[in-house]
Structure 1
Amino acid sequence: MRVLCSLLLLCLSFAAHAQQPREEVVLGLSQNRVSITADFDGSEILIFGAIKRETAIPKQPLEVIVTIAGPSEPLIVRRKDKRFGIWVNTDANQIDSAPSYYAVATSGPFNDVLRHTEDLRHKVSISRAIRSVGAPAEIGDSRAFTRALIRIRQDNSLFQLLEGAVEVDQQTLFRTSIALPANLTEGPYKTRIFLTRGGHVISQFETEIDVYKVGLERFLYNLSRSQPLIYGLLSLAIAIAAGWGASAAFRMLRQG
């Protein structure tokens, strides 16, 4: 009897799930590759799309969240205190993983479009995108280091919270524009689109934007990694040549 009840509940669960209206993202990008050149001063990504449905539009308003995350890396955040009139590093905390760039664009206030439990599950907000498992026993305020990291990267446009930046038209079309700063780390940038209703995620779509150095920037980057000695000698030779050229030009101007 217990087995029959379990099977009945399972069937009812599947039936209820099948009756829920499915909504999926059909996405478009203005570009899926960003090239970093010698004169690169940033870029702007236009993200647009539509909602594909199998049933009529539900009455509850649809909200859209777009996130772009650069390659993650571990890092150490240090705290400075003033000792004997000078600033010195005191405490340090290890951040296990933090994206080199992270932007969150929403169609409304963040706390209205996504519930706290859903944020915990999908790690959408900036603070949830940073992973810091533990801290040394002598550090009692480890979260202060995470907040400091967020503040510093926000000041450098590497972390962005863009509330209300996603435009939603008739609960079917959406678009947003996200600026990428000049100081980008190369690699794949994970892009996620969430559809929410009542703060709950009803659909999710993922893609990637490739950010890579090209031309001379790519050659110098590869050389610095594969042949650091040659890269150092080349840098020294360029510095000497530039200094000699500037000195020669100055002498010519004085003689003229």
Structure 2
Amino acid sequence: MIRALALMLALALPVVAQDAPAAQEVIVAGMSQNRVSITADFDGSEILIYGAVKRDAPPPEGAGPLEVIVTVEGPSGPVAVRRKDRVAGIWINNASVRVDSAPSFYAVATTGPLDYILSDVDNLRYGITIERMIRAIGISDEADKAGEFVLALLRVRTDEGRYRVLEGKVELTEDTLFRTDVVLPANLTEGEYKVRLFLLRDKRVIASQERVIGVRKEGLERFIFNLAQEQPLVYGLLSLALAALAGWGASAAFRLMRA
């Protein structure tokens, strides 16, 4: 009996060795800054995202080339998308749908074309492309051709610079070091911006890491924001007073110019 067990163990050992997992590759990453302050003269910011691939052994023979994807995602929230139609010679909002959730900002930078380096399965699993980050459940019941509303949202926010696809903008050196620059626009939404990094081989994600950039209003911007949120009546009265003062100033200047 003991001899039979020993024989079975000896036969099993080569199989275990043959099926041992491949060399693990992990991400060691950093950013030029993890905090962005929105002030009165804020006109955008550029974030350098860099890193290296740490391995415990050389990559297995026959493995596909290494690829890197970096995404930066701003705070998400519901969005009402409206369509204007011409009725009786006047353009009016004739139909609308409510998108459950869409990121206020989203950028995806890659080492190559997304279609060539990322599979549909892993895109669905990790939610990497912009389309996968927009949740619009049940909008087909709200309007005809509801899919066109989502396309319109993508088009508008792309034109505004809030959605960006930066294919080929991740520099990868010797399958080890990588870096990319992501420009954050001036119209940022306050909150936490999630940075995700993915390593891929053969269109499959083999490693990932997540970091956070904090975006916060400071100075006068913070004072006005807090005033509007905490004391809306005072904020409204102050806005009316400033508008009246600006109107009086413009009128006085006009009278001086005519004199």
Is the TM value for this pair above 0.5?
A: yes
* Alpha-carbon distance in 2 for matches of 1:53, 1:93: 48
For structure 2, list consecutive stretches of 5 or more residues without a partner in the other structure.
Answer: 1-12
* Alpha-carbon distance in 2 for matches of 1:52, 1:88: 57
The alignment partner of 2:139 has SS state of: coil
Indicate the RMSD between aligned Cα atoms, in angstroms.
2.2
Counterpart in the other structure of 2:59: 57
Counterpart in the other structure of 1:6: none
- Rate the CA distance shift 1:112–1:234 in 2: closer, same or farther, 3 A: same
* Alpha-carbon distance in 2 for matches of 1:218, 1:35: 10
The alignment partner of 1:183 has SS state of: coil
* Alpha-carbon distance in 1 for matches of 2:222, 2:145: 41
1:231 equivalent to 2:235? Answer yes
Counterpart in the other structure of 1:112: 116
Contact 2:140 / 2:147 at 8 angstroms: preserved in 1?
no
Counterpart in the other structure of 2:39: 37
Q: Which runs of structure 2 are paired with 1:3-42 in the superposition (5 Å)?
A: 19-42=21-44
CA displacement 1:78-111 (0-9 Å, x = unmatched) = 1111111111112211111100000010100011
Q: CA deviation at 1:246?
A: 4.1
Counterpart in the other structure of 2:179: 175
Find the partner of 2:130 among 113, 126, 144: 126
1:204 equivalent to 2:243? Answer no
Find the partner of 1:102 among 78, 103, 106: 106
The alignment partner of 1:56 has SS state of: coil
Q: CA deviation at 1:22?
A: 1.1
The alignment partner of 1:232 has SS state of: helix
Counterpart in the other structure of 1:7: none
Q: CA deviation at 1:28?
A: 1.1
* Alpha-carbon distance in 2 for matches of 1:50, 1:25: 6
- Rate the CA distance shift 1:56–1:38 in 2: closer, same or farther, 3 A: same
Counterpart in the other structure of 1:80: 84
* Alpha-carbon distance in 1 for matches of 2:225, 2:213: 20
Identity within the alignment, %: 55
* Alpha-carbon distance in 2 for matches of 1:196, 1:140: 39
1:91 equivalent to 2:95? Answer yes
Q: CA deviation at 1:32?
A: 0.6
Q: CA deviation at 1:20?
A: 2.0
Q: CA deviation at 1:240?
A: 2.5
Q: Which runs of structure 2 are paired with 1:203-222 in the superposition (5 Å)?
A: 203-222=207-226
- After TM superposition, the structure 1 stretch with the greater mean CA deviation from structure 2, 52-61 or 37-46, is 52-61
- After TM superposition, the structure 1 stretch with the greater mean CA deviation from structure 2, 173-182 or 240-249, is 240-249
The alignment partner of 1:19 has SS state of: coil
Find the partner of 2:48 among 35, 41, 46: 46
Amino acid at match of 2:133: A
Find the partner of 2:199 among 195, 198, 201: 195
- Rate the CA distance shift 1:240–1:197 in 2: closer, same or farther, 3 A: same
Amino acid at match of 1:76: A
Contact 2:97 / 2:142 at 8 angstroms: preserved in 1?
no
CA displacement 1:162-198 (0-9 Å, x = unmatched) = 1001000001000000111111111000110010001
- After TM superposition, the structure 1 stretch with the greater mean CA deviation from structure 2, 203-212 or 84-93, is 84-93
* Alpha-carbon distance in 1 for matches of 2:16, 2:100: 39
Find the partner of 1:162 among 160, 166, 178: 166
Q: Which has the larger radius of gyration?
A: 2
The alignment partner of 2:222 has SS state of: helix
The alignment partner of 1:88 has SS state of: strand
* Alpha-carbon distance in 2 for matches of 1:34, 1:26: 22
Counterpart in the other structure of 2:143: 139
